[in-house]
Amino acid sequence: MEWETVIGLEVHAQLSTKTKIFSGASTQFGADPNTQACAIDLGLPGVLPVLNKEAVEMAIKFALGAHATVQHKSVFARKNYFYPDLPKGYQISQYDRPIVSHGYIDIQLEDGEAKRINLTRAHLEEDAGKSLHEDFHGLTGIDLNRAGTPLLEIVSEPEMRTAKEAVAYLKALRTLVRYLEICDGNMQEGSFRCDANVSVRPKGEEKLGTRTELKNINSFRFVERAINFEIERQINVIENGGTITQETRLYDPNKNETRPMRSKEEAHDYRYFPDPDLLPVVIAEELIEKVKRELPELPQEKRDRFMQQYGLSAYDADILVSSKELADYYEEAVKVSGNHPKLAANWVISELLGVLNKNNLEITESPIEAAELGHLVARIADETISGKIAKTIFECLWEKEGSVDDIIEKRGLKQVTDTAAIEKLIDEIIANNPAQTADYRAGKEKLFGFFVGQAMKASGGKMNPKQLNELLKKKLQG
């Protein structure tokens, strides 16, 4: 039997507001426990929440960036449940009237295909506090600093078919919220969290299978692994005559498996109802227009511009716009290179990103500055150095040995382009290798490589390859 996988993602993006969604307490990360929770976040009697306008504007920004609809009227609702990190006994969220609906994210698949993933909705809500288990023997500590932090929950349609598509969607979504500057996208710190809903069905079947919801997947790698584990598990269960239970499952990265957390039977009845302390959110068209005017160039627009302006492939452009910082780096390098966009793209993508990844560094932490990489490209383009020598210089730049021109000068790496000097060297090589010369002239053309090698060795790789080839051919012909 052939199976088809169905995946829908729920993403919680922590909004980068200065203060909380319903109080004036700071949202700064890393403060001492319970120093950033005010009476409202603690849910003390008699307090009233006041909606943070910045959070609303960020939701509007998201809607505009994701081609979605801003609802002119949305409603906050109470989601009731008991947990120690939720002192009010309810979370303020949105239920049947979310602030954002529809929209889509376009993803780029590895085979070069593009696919559109539709969004169902995005709604505003407050985060809960944190339970701390580690430092408390037999007890649980509660830190309410995170309580009331604004979240945008972004819900996709069940339109992804592989774990790789899910990762591509998540990456595109994270790139978007970072461009919009509404979320820092940090998965480790939990400011960009994902729950994956996964089901399988026989290929060709229209009805969706029973889904499970996977939690605790806080890196792209874990998202892919958790989904793939879950697909296999579900198929196994069904093929062995069992049925899938709708439940929440926890991913364990150490064992690379998912296991049940709570089933539908134990699932909470949240008794949603409109929050009587908060008025409906009414958004005027003028506010939407204002936010629209302030929107930066977004990833897809930038990608299209890079393809047009710099003649890049969709694949290369997609990589370069994956973060705004990387795109800026590239454009700076192109400018300094004297307008050699394709060569600059090759050096950024194949060389720089390669070593950055190997060393686990972000583009903002690159030891080689954009202007310096641009200089390097300029020196290749004006034939001061060969591509091969450029790799040596690149390594020197990485080690902070100085500027490109300094390194060329100090290490004597300038390419030999003086025809007379090249000819002199060729004459010497021909004189020193009479047997090979005779064989070549007798028709053994494969020996050409031998002469190129000799010349490169004698010049320390600095010979201009094009000139060398031409002159060598002429001289060998005699």
Question: Toward ligand ADP, which CB reaches closer, 211 or 233?
Answer: 211
Residue 199 binds ligand ADP (CB under 6 A): yes
Q: Which residues contact 39 (CB under 8 A, 6 or more apart)?
A: 23, 47
Instruction: Name the residue with the smallest CB distance to ligand ADP.
Output: 8
Least spacing, CB of residue 360 vs ligand ADP, in Å: 32
Choose the binding region for ligand ADP from 195-203, 223-231, 339-347, 401-409 (rule: CB under 6 A): 195-203
CA distances from 133 to 130, 140, 142, 188, 207 (A): 10, 5, 9, 18, 42
Determine, following the binding rule CB under 6 A, whether residue 211 of this chain makes contact with ligand ADP. yes
Please identify, using beta-carbon distances, which residue of 177 and 198 lies nearer to ligand ADP.
198
168 alpha-carbon distance from chain centroid: 9
Q: Per CB under 6 A, which region of 193-201, 227-235, 326-334, 378-386 contacts ligand ADP?
A: 193-201
- The rounded distance, in Å, linking the Cα atoms of 369 and 212 is 46
Cβ proximity to ligand ADP, 143 vs 224, nearer residue: 224
Asked if 6 interacts with ligand ADP (CB under 6 A), we say yes
190: alpha, beta or left, given left = phi > 0 and alpha = psi -120 to 50?
left
DSSP state of 265: T
Output 232 or 277, the one with its CB closest to ligand ADP: 232
Quick one: 149 or 156, whose CB is closer to ligand ADP? 156
CB nearer ligand ADP, residue 123 or residue 303: 123
One of 4, 10, 257, 405 touching ligand ADP (CB under 6 A): 10
> What is the distance between the alpha carbons of residues 447 and 424, in angstroms, rounded to a whole number?
20
Q: Report the nearest approach of ligand ADP to the CB of residue 212 (Å).
A: 9
- Our finding on whether 50 is near ligand ADP (CB under 6 A) is no
Q: Could you write out the DSSP letters of every residue in 63-124? A: HHHTT-EEPSEE-EEEEE---TT-TTSEEEEE-SS-SEE--EEEEE-TTS-EEEEEEEEEEE
Tell me the DSSP string of 159-228.
Answer: -B-SHHHHHHHHHHHHHHHHHTTS----TTTTSEEEEEEEEEEETT--SPPP-EEEE---SHHHHHHHHH
Cβ 462 to ligand ADP shortest distance, Å: 59
If 0-12 CB within 10 Å is exposed, 13-18 middle and 19+ buried, where does residue 332 land?
middle
8 belongs to the binding site for ligand ADP (CB under 6 A):
yes
Q: Which of 243, 245, 208, 211 is nearest to 227 (CA)?
A: 211
Shortest distance, position 184 Cβ to ligand ADP, whole Å: 23
* Number of shown-chain residues binding ligand ADP (CB under 6 A): 15
Q: Is 9 in the site for ligand ADP (CB under 6 A)?
A: yes
Looking only at Cα atoms, what is the longest distance across the chain? 102
Interface with ligand ADP, residue 13, by CB under 6 A: no
Closest contact distance (angstroms) between CB of 452 and ligand ADP is 59
Site string for ligand ADP, 141-160 (x = CB under 6 A): --------------xxxx--
In the complex with ligand ADP, the residue whose CB is nearer, 94 or 199, is 199
Pairing of strands 130-132, 104-108: unpaired
Q: Is 208 in the site for ligand ADP (CB under 6 A)?
A: yes
Smallest gap from residue 223 Cβ to ligand ADP (A): 14
Q: What token pair was written down for 237?
A: 């269960």
For binding to ligand ADP (CB under 6 A), which residues are involved? 6-10, 155-158, 197-199, 208-209, 211
